[in-house]
Structure 1
Amino acid sequence: MKFSVIFEAQLADPTVEREHQVIRDCVEQAVYAEEMGFDRIWAVEHHSLKWYAHMSAPEIFLTWVAAKTSTIRIGHGVVCMPFNFNHPARVAERAAMLDLLSGGRLDLGAGRGGTEQETSLCGVDKERTTQEVEEALRIIGKAWQEDELEYHGELIDIDPHPILPRPQQTPHPPLFLACSRADTLRQAAELGIGALVMGFAGPQSIKEMREAYDSALAGRDSSRFVSSVVNDHFSVLCPTIVLDDRETAQRIGIRGQRFFAQSIGHWYGGAGIPDEAVVEGADEAAAMREAAEQVVARLHEHNIPVRPTATATFNADHAYGTAEDAIAYVEQLRDAGADEIMCLIQMGTVPQEACMETIRQWGEKVIPHFRSERTPRPRSGQASLERREEQPPRHREVQPPQHREEQTPQQRQKENR
């Protein structure tokens, strides 16, 4: 199992000074995550979503972190792939440059960035976002297969051009898709790419989403694959605050998640401005339930059906508490099918010291619990477990037999392993 930290750069009381400090705090957390044994960090991309996400240029953030670290993987979770946000060729160029300079540590996720606030900023056609994301993934999957990229699709034409530089990972960094519904899980599986899954609804929901993903894996052929390599990795979001004092961790974590839920509701569902107040000793679990009830009441008022996803972000039953509480919750996510736990720690009202202490507790207590389960050890003649785990799990090459003669002896040796 892999462990990672995901960054939104959320911000209560968004003054210029606090905004600058929060982004610096995220860098500090990311660098510390490597020291504490995490496998990966992820950074989102959103635009103009005040409060919810001030991470508008993750390529810069990730490059800065990559320069300050040496082993932790660096993940776009995700790039907004509609063309007016980011032209596919530019995404490929930037990804290759960062992959090269980081020593082959990049993972590349794709998403829609579909809020009205974001699409109106960049002139994105909301009706085409799903198609453009898939077409962008096909272009990136094809970009370095030949000396020059040529692509003629339904939405975009690219005449022959070299895409420079080439990434260190061949043929490109592992690809992922942001998934929050069964249809996007099926899409990810059919495209042959990993799934980055929202986990607010809890382990049972994750189990159902994993079953949907596995069902699509079992039923797919290669007709929709976007690349010659397949990545069947299933990463799950895990909101968490871990401290020695269980009640304090729960209060800080649930308060932070309430800010997250209200700010996402503001931009995605037309709710009011998120509540930024932090009241010492408040019953945050009760405040979370009240906030969820307000969402339901607003939906009823507008005659909108109340689906489980409408209040999922207000579910407060997560890895909040002691390290033992976090271990027990991660065991549930593992049993539900998670290949990777994406820790959501930096939420708008969570103080930096709680974020850093949570990373320390995970690194010293939670992650080692699951690392100790990595048995059996490799037999003589096998690559070491540590060496194998430098590569993303399940990222395997899919190459027709007629192309094997074009491979180098080293590539054939690697594939035969």
Structure 2
Amino acid sequence: MINLTPWLQAPAWHIAFSGGLDSTVLLHLLADYARTHPAPPLRAIHIHHGLQPAADAWPAHCELVCANLGVELRVIHVQVAPGASLEQAARDARYAAFTNVVGPGEVLFTGQHRDDQAETLLFRLLRGAGLRGLTAMPAQRPLGQGSLARPLLAIARQQLHAYAQAQGLTWIEDPTNSDTAFARNYLRGEVFPVLQQRWPQASQNLARCAAHLGEAQGLLDEVAQADLAKAEEGAAAAWVGLDSLALAVLAALSPARQRNALQYWLSHRTRLPDARHWAGWADLRDAAADAQPTWRLADGRLLRSNGRIWWLSGDWLQAPQGEFAWADSACELALPGNGSVRLTASKPLAGLTVRYRQGGEVLELAGRGRRDLKRLLNELQVPPFVRSRLPLLYQGERLLAVANLPALGQADCQLHWQLPTNAQGLS
């Protein structure tokens, strides 16, 4: 029924096992394959959202199914964040758990099928999604250190149901699946039966349409990659841990190509804004040269500085605080929420501390005398959002060096800063 060849070299297989029809059939197929062919070790993951009393009995059912198939099961309890969309919040919590479990090169199998593909397309059409939102769910995509695979996408729900009955499988019927207050349930229970009475191939044709849209999006992604390659040139070497794009390169493109390039770039970093919020890009792009505009997005923000736009997320959304004594400068010093620093010096130094800017700092430079740090940072075009978190090395009350700026340090003393590792929030 399914082709598992693309994933045979993975170190391990995981399956998202809810206990419902789709994942039960997929688990049965994977376990059967693993019994009769060389295959990676197979483990099941059941996510308990705790959203309804009936769900408390589901882990026991899943444990029984997995025990009968000889498959290890891991039950993970998650907290679903409150918000406008319970479905989206539950999905976010579920996939965050999956990401934590899947190791390097490992595969997580999920049970989405052809009808899911069709329902997703229609659901997004009704919400007014753009081309990227209308593209087909891919058969495989990255997930954390591994990947997510959907081997049932070419198979109809009716085929899965027939297989389950023929094999004598038992599965959970989630009572919320019949609650048409949820948009997807309404489409599945009320809309699609009517469509299929008039057009029996509706699900198959919609799924094929989604695949065509996915191919068109792939071509636009190639255009975006070419545009971004030019815009990514010229990034400041001292801040290589931060992603940025040359504003002039983007502004020279047509408005449609600007949005296309940014959608591709942002899709790896944050949930994309809807059409109403793209005015934030125009405000950022068209602001006065001396302005410092910010475009706030779901998982971070874009800022403009020195002719570039910069993506900030994670620790970069909070200004670091504190003063840190450095007892042993031969060792790396961790800075809470701000990466770490290490020192290279011609001789051992004592009485060192690392601080952040408060204003009015003065640095003594060979051949230039005492200079105001603010002016020096202006000369080097250090972005304003970097300045507040730049580690400064002091000996007593004397400023010795500014991190990652060799020109702002004593000749025999340089401070090297490893920027926060979660700055990008890549998705």
Q: Return the TM-score normalized by structure 2.
A: 0.29
More strand by share: 2
Higher RCO (CA 8 Å, separation ≥ 6 residues): 1
Q: Considering fraction of residues, name the structure with more helix.
A: 1
Instruction: Report which of the two structures shows the higher radius of gyration computed on alpha carbons.
Output: 2
TM-score, length basis structure 1: 0.29
